[in-house]
Structure 1
């Protein structure tokens, strides 16, 4: 008796989602440099079955998609998620702080800020800050100077930094203005919005 397969339920037009999932499977396979035979072996499927799945000659079954997602090191939700319509977004302008902010859709708690720094970081350790959260920094132009505890780091154009914000830290420009793109999680952003945060100037 042949096993029964649960067919993937479609939430938008069958053709659109069906085609998207098949293209995603093939693209993930090719990105890893795997042949049909290699992915089929990893997923416990026959090569002909996988070929028919990719080519649209076999209906998408939930059990097959679960094993394929696992073999491709992704999740079923990511494999079958619908395409986003809002690919392009505009920044939110904060005139008071002289900033542009981009919400990160992958995590509503994260914020992206582009900022032009003109002053060096504060020399006084008392003006360095420590707080919960995570921060990432990319220098778009110029050179930034990051003070982290007792250490100093020069971050050149196109270089990035990720640092533990529980260490006292501050950042500013070195040798002239610089532009930075900062990414803050919810806790870090909340800390920078407090009244004692200095409006993110001489950003810490």
Structure 2
């Protein structure tokens, strides 16, 4: 059911939960800020109690929104990812996902410069998992004592607890990567 066709009280309850969740607030925190009992707030969110007009400004203020934002439909969000590429050590990384509050898996398009041919000593190790798919060029992947050449159209998946590094074989490489938060920090912030 869309926000335009759902009953008003259902929409307000949903918005109340959404806004509280988006801000990472507990029922108790919002209740304290609104100066209402936590059981009242819980019943308002669950539909066991009707929202009174005097609750609206208190709850809106507690959530840091206007009364219109609390009572209205959730605004449409732009799904496009608009982040600038980041550059480090021969890698240019374009984010393909929004950075969420949980800082979970992140997707990137990566360009490896043709000059990135020498692995560091020692090879990096960190918590996490990497998934890489080569779009163009030939990528060199070192995993522990193994040295691989990954061709266009090939994918690799590995634990980053294994010492690892990736670079170019004989020209620039383009790939898609899915990295955990630890891998993102390592590749973007050295």
- TM-score normalised to the size of structure 1? 0.48
Greater displacement, 102-111 / 167-176: 102-111
Of 118, 122, 135, which aligns to 1:122?
Answer: 118
- 1:94 maps to 86
1-side partners of 2:126 and 2:153: how far apart? 26
Deviation at 1:12, TM superposition (A): 1.7
1:1-204 equivalences in 2 (<5 Å)? 12-14=3-5, 85-94=77-86, 98-104=92-98, 108-117=103-112, 118-123=114-119, 126-194=121-189, 197=190
- 1:37 maps to none
User: Relative to structure 1, is the Cα distance of residues 95 and 129 closer, same or farther in structure 2, using a 3 angstrom cutoff?
Assistant: closer
- Which blocks of at least 5 consecutive residues in structure 2 are unaligned? 7-73
Deviation at 1:154, TM superposition (A): 1.7
**3-state SS in 1 of match to 2:96:** strand
Tell me if structure 2 keeps the 8 A contact 1:121–1:147. Answer: no
Tell me if structure 1 keeps the 8 A contact 2:128–2:180. Answer: yes
Tell me if structure 2 keeps the 8 A contact 1:99–1:114. Answer: yes
Q: What CA deviation, in whole Å up to 9, does each residue of 1:87-136 have, x standing for no partner?
A: 33334233676432222578743323323221354356x24111001211
Q: What CA deviation, in whole Å up to 9, does each residue of 1:55-104 have, x standing for no partner?
A: xxxxxxxxxxxxxxxxxxxxxxxxxxx9x753333342336764322225
User: Relative to structure 1, is the Cα distance of residues 123 and 102 closer, same or farther in structure 2, using a 3 angstrom cutoff?
Assistant: closer
- Which blocks of at least 5 consecutive residues in structure 1 are unaligned? 1-9, 16-81, 198-204
2-side partners of 1:136 and 1:186: how far apart? 13
2-side partners of 1:187 and 1:123: how far apart? 19
- TM-score normalised to the size of structure 2? 0.51
User: Relative to structure 1, is the Cα distance of residues 93 and 192 closer, same or farther in structure 2, using a 3 angstrom cutoff?
Assistant: closer
Tell me if structure 2 keeps the 8 A contact 1:116–1:177. Answer: yes
